[in-house]
Homo-oligomer: A and B are copies of this chain.
């Protein structure tokens, strides 16, 4: 059930008759990509501030109220949005929604809490340096997606240090009900919940104009980042891929299942099982507004980096030759069973509903999603695979130096 409130906020509610708990997700479409030039990290600091007091309650009072409701909460941000999620027992839903309304619309923005939030945001950026896989993904996004969509979400330390509480207040005032999405799933009565949501959220009004991002192509940056003391070469590939609204989206999902899902998937078999090149290799979808990307990640030793990249590229290339009936069937079964299992949890369902509204302007039912993939026939799939070549636009490595066998010292394949 989907409603638009009078203030423009989109609300989706779904009863899960078998669930005991309930979950909700709020997406606020003012993510890190909206941070002004010179203020990269503003959204990360703001997200940290969300649990630090609202409506006159100080940070300690707010968090002990959340904890005393038994809420599992998660506040997070991406380039596109800030997301607030909560899982809880259904009888606490009303109080939780009231509290989250205050968190979003009546932040205290206390100076002292701001200082702590800046400090923690800096710590979290420093921690990336100790996590080469995360660093690789940041750098890959920066090279692939239009700027500032690909700008690292956690920001830049020197710019965070220059932020003020006023920046936070301004950014928070840019949260708008017109672009906000609230999804609720679990052991709830949709009609009652909607009445309650309307009462709580409809007084929220848009405070400032909704900005459109102006995007520019990503800059050319080096294709290798030297980290001499790393043990492994981290490898990332990014290729343009079908966007969510493309009618071929279900086929792209099935392509990914064939390529990377399960132990008999192509990447797993060719890169890991047959050649022992990596302990972990995976490909996944990355969507950013209308930009679809297929990202492939692998980590290996310097002597195997070249072969690893070659095998991955060969597998992407080989997709054009089509799949066989068995692979197609396995991909469908895998998609169906993992979707059913994932959707037993109200938290995953609420999250999926919110993202559906963001990407498709509607909520797809689980059976619709399954149907869209399982109905694809081999011939159809193979003509898609033939026409839709996956060509890596960026190949990035991070770690100790490695060289290709031609010996020219370059990092290009």
Contact = CB atoms under 8 A, between A and B. Distances in A.
Interface stretch (A2-10, A14-22, A354-362): A14-22
Interface string A237-265: 00000000000000000000000001111
Interface stretch (A29-37, A192-200, A266-274): A266-274
A98 interface: no
A341 B72 contact: yes
A334 B20 contact: no
Interface stretch (A225-233, A310-318, A386-394): A225-233
Given A232-B130, A262-B67, A337 B88 contact: yes
A333 B69 contact: yes
Contacts of A116: 273-276
B272 A120 contact: yes
Contact of A70 (B72, B127, B334): B334
A336 interface: yes
Contacts of A344: 19-21, 344-346
Interface in A34-77: 51-52, 59-60, 63-64, 66-73
A220 to B, nearest CB: 27
B63 A263 contact: yes
Contact of A51 (B124, B263, B275, B345): B263
A79 B287 CA distance: 40
A73 B262 CA distance: 9
A90 to B, nearest CB: 11
A340 B70 CA distance: 11
Contacts of A132: 130
A265 B120 CA distance: 17
A123 B279 contact: yes
A165 interface: no
B19 A67 contact: no
A89 interface: yes
A66 B347 CA distance: 27
Contacts of A88: 337
Interface string A300-320: 110000000000000000000
A38 B408 CA distance: 42
A230 B130 contact: yes
Nearest to A326: B64
A88 B329 CA distance: 16
B126 A231 contact: yes
A279 B63 CA distance: 17
Nearest to A126: B231
Nearest to A115: B276
B63 A123 contact: no
B278 A123 contact: yes
Given A67-B264, A69-B333, A274-B116, A87 B341 contact: yes
A4 B66 CA distance: 44
For A230, A263, A341, A399, which residue has the most chain B Cβ atoms within 10 angstroms? A341
A330 B124 CA distance: 28
Nearest to A340: B20
Given A67-B330, A232-B127, A337 B279 contact: no
A299 interface: yes
A119 interface: yes
B129 A231 contact: yes
A114 to B, nearest CB: 11
Interface in A329-377: 329-330, 333-334, 336-338, 340-341, 344-347
11 contacts: A18-B20, A64-B330, A70-B337, A73-B263, A120-B279, A123-B232, A123-B278, A130-B231, A130-B234, A131-B131, A344-B346
